[in-house]
Amino acid sequence: MSTATDQIKATIDANAVVLFMKGTKSMPQCGFSSRVAGVLNFMGVEYADVNVLADADIRQGIKDFSDWPTIPQLYVKGEFVGGCDIVTEMTLSGELDALFEAKGVTYDKAAAEKIRAANA
């Protein structure tokens, strides 16, 4: 029997980009999850979405796993990136682009620049 930690680790290992969120990428169920999913969707990033509302063990487990108290949580190539505020800040500063490039994750650079232009 696998634990929540095993499931979390397996999901992170199996996918280049994973978003642990409330709801799904097509139907987010909180504003913060919606914002991060929206950024990834707009930038054309392929990612796995894990709905923490569907499993209480995963919901608590991801907080313990990352030692981060809030959801959503973004992982890129096994590395914990952060939650909504950090992802938003990294998107606006260009750091998220740099991370995707360094990790070999495909994204739409023009879309990323549109986000920055709209928030300048």
Extract the annotated binding site. Answer: 30
Helix (H) or strand (E) holding 9: helix 4-14
Helix and strand totals (H; E) in the chain? 6, 4
Tokens, residue 59: 């919901």
Pairing of strands 73-76, 79-82: antiparallel
Binding-site members for [2Fe-2S] cluster are: 30
